[in-house]
Amino acid sequence: MTNFSELGLTDAILRAVTGEGYTVPTPIQAQTIPYLLQGRDVLGIAQTGTGKTAAFALPILQRLSENPRKAMPKSTRALILTPTRELALQIDEGFKTYGRHLNLKRAVVFGGVSQRPQVGALRQGIDILVATPGRLLDLMNQRHIDLCSVEIFVLDEADRMLDMGFIRDVRTIAAKVPTKRQTLLFSATMPSAVDGLVKGLLKDFARVEVTPESTTVERIAQRVMLVAKEDKRSLLGDVLKDSSVSRAIVFTRTKHCANRVAEQLQKTGVAADAIHGNKSQGARQRSLAAFKDGKVRVLVATDIAARGIDVDHISHVINFELPMEPESYVHRIGRTARAGTEGIALSFCDASERGQLRAIERAIRQSIPVDVTHAYHGKVSMTGGTTEEAPQRRGRNNRRGGGGGRNGGGGGKSWGRKSRAA
Ligand code: AMP
């Protein structure tokens, strides 16, 4: 097994990686980093959740810091294009974390917010810019940024960018980046349009591919439980009465909610603990160890805190609140069904979360069966169109307790599509 120090990374970067608690590189990291450090172009076939951000961020940080050069005003040395605001923020956060012992300037730009602070951030010139295509083009057209000194160009989630209608923007932007550069393109799938981009933009590239997560998703029995917000805690209590729920992760959207749910469970005698970004690394590791040892049966977590959790034999993933981004759903439920086992994912959905449920179903290209057997089903008004409307889906998987119910077909080969325009 490769470790990070064998990949040729410098001490400042290794320290940041170790500080994050990473011990071994993920397959995409082990395969990609050496090529990128050599300056090669890379086509990476991998999706979010595989560790691909660090796969490109670590070598970019290293290459930029090894050749220090003051960026010219209104220019950037590395440009990372990504389809959504959420991904842009996540990638920028990755650069911040992994580059914490280096002295490189970053900025992130995306649409839907005022451009003024973004313009300010670009003025002095920066090293790393993470951008969504629409806002970047706007800023280019207003001459707030010039791509003439880009040395490294990354196209992240290329298939999704094309799906979202960004192909022309991407081509326009790529045409403004100097041809003498290093180019990386990441895509979960390789439709012919992406192939066209690869041929047009990459030179003498290395191709790296990791197994898609969807193979795991197909092994997970997914069910949705329609419930009023105020009944979610009682429903969780009921679900946990079933002894087949032997080791569960409960996901919430906020740290506050994670704490409240964990406290409530502890009060009712359930061995539970919360992990989230407000807890120290030490506290998080202690909670994780107790969960792995079986001393804690239920771990309540936020998406961010749960990243990188790799615990075997998690019987259930319970979405106490649905995530805003469909990809997070796939990451969450992928915590169960590890190491070839099957797993169960239950999602509590209240009336305000119906839109998120539909987005998830579109993304995984499956409809998630509705559990009609729990005590709170039917107590909640779901008017205005819900999954419940589809009568053929009702009762199809109404086995007892928290388990059962293989979701109905649909393939679910790709996900994370058409979520949100930048
Ligand atoms: P990404 O596919 O880049 O979104 O990565 C998913 C998450 O995996 C990241 O947020 C990291 O916290 C985590 N991660 C990345 N690399 C590693 C690693 N080598 N070991 C453990 N966790 C990692």
- Tens-place pLDDT, residues 20-29: 888 889 999 9
Q: What is the pLDDT of residue 260?
A: 95
Distance 309 CA to ligand 1 centre (A): 9
Top mutation candidate among 13, 307, 310, 331 for ligand 1, by most atoms within 8 Å of CB:
307
Span from the CA of 282 to the centroid of ligand 1 (angstroms): 18
Q: Is the CB of 308 under 6 A from ligand 1?
A: yes
Gap between the Cα atoms of 278 and 345, Å rounded: 26
Residue 323 Cβ contacting ligand 1 at under 6 Å: no
Give the model's pLDDT for residue 65: 96
Atom number of ligand 1 nearest to Cα 304: 10
- Tell how far the Cα of 307 is from the centroid of ligand 1, in angstroms: 6
Does the beta carbon of 49 sit less than 6 angstroms from any atom of ligand 1? yes
Q: Is 33 in the pocket of ligand 1 (CB under 6 A)?
A: no
Helices (H) and strands (E) in the chain, counts: 16, 13
- Give pLDDT, residue 314: 87
**Separation between Cα atoms, residue 12 and residue 81, nearest integer Å:** 25
Per-residue pLDDT of the chain (422 residues; tens, 9 = 90+): 578 989 999 999 999 999 988 888 999 999 999 999 999 999 999 877 788 999 999 999 999 999 999 889 999 999 999 998 888 998 999 999 999 999 999 999 999 899 999 999 999 999 999 999 999 999 999 999 999 999 999 999 998 888 788 999 999 999 999 999 999 999 987 878 899 999 999 999 999 988 654 455 677 899 999 999 999 999 999 999 999 999 999 999 988 999 999 999 999 999 999 988 777 767 877 888 899 889 999 999 987 766 656 677 889 999 999 998 887 888 888 888 655 567 899 999 999 999 999 988 887 878 899 999 999 987 766 554 333 222 233 333 333 333 333 333 332 222 222 223 33
Q: Does the CB atom of residue 48 touch ligand 1 within 6 A?
A: yes
Q: For residue 209, how many other CB atoms are within 10 A of its CB?
A: 13
Q: In what order do the strands lie in the sheet with 182-187?
A: 106-109, 126-131, 76-81, 152-155, 182-187, 42-45, 206-209
The C-alpha R_g of the chain, in whole angstroms, comes to: 22
User: Distance between CA atoms of 362 and 383, rounded to whole angstroms?
Assistant: 20
Confidence (pLDDT) at 218: 72
Does residue 19 line the site of ligand 1, with CB under 6 A?
no
Ligand 1 centroid from CA 55, angstroms: 9
Query: Of 178, 59, 34, which Cα lies nearest the Cα of 128?
Result: 59
In this structure, the strands spanning 126-131 and 106-109 are parallel
CA of 49 to the centre of ligand 1 (A): 6
Q: What atom in ligand 1 is closest to the CA of residue 48?
A: 2
- List, in sequence order, the alpha helices (H) in 40-84: 52-66
Cβ of 51 closer than 6 Å to ligand 1, yes or no, is yes
Ligand 1 midpoint to CA 366 (Å): 26
Cβ 49 vs Cβ 122: under 8 Å = no
Q: How far apart are CA 73 and CA 122, in angstroms?
A: 7
Give the start-end residues of each E strand in 227-335. 248-251, 272-275, 298-301, 316-319
Q: How far is the CA of 29 from the centre of ligand 1 (A)?
A: 10
Question: Which pLDDT does position 338 carry in this prediction?
Answer: 58
- Using the structure block, give the residue that is written with the tokens 């999602």: 347
Q: Report CA(22)–ligand 1 centroid distance (Å).
A: 8
How far apart CA 177 and CA 75 sit, in angstroms, is 11
Cα 11 to middle of ligand 1, angstroms: 19
Confidence (pLDDT) at 47: 76
Q: What are residue 193's phi and psi, to 5 degrees?
A: -65, -35
Residue 307 in contact with ligand 1 by CB distance below 6 A? yes
> Which amino acid residue places its CA nearest to atom 1 of ligand 1?
51
Structure tokens at 299: 């771990």
Distance 338 CA to ligand 1 centre (A): 16
Is the distance from the beta carbon of residue 53 to the nearest atom of ligand 1 less than 6 Å? yes
pLDDT digits (tens, 9 = 90+) for 401-415: 333 333 333 322 222
State the pLDDT at residue 336: 80
Best residue among 7, 18, 26, 275 to mutate for probing ligand 1's pocket (most ligand atoms within 8 Å of CB) is 26
**Number of residues assigned to the chain:** 422
What pTM, to 2 d.p., does this model score? 0.60
Contacts of range 118-127, beta carbons closer than 8 Å, 24 or more positions apart: 118/144, 119/144, 122/74, 122/76, 123/73, 123/74, 124/71, 124/73, 125/70, 125/71, 125/72, 125/73, 125/74, 125/75, 125/76, 126/71, 126/75, 126/76, 126/77, 127/64, 127/71, 127/76, 127/77, 127/78
Q: Please give the domain boundaries of the chain with CATH numbers for all domains.
A: 4-209 (3.40.50.300), 220-414 (3.40.50.300)
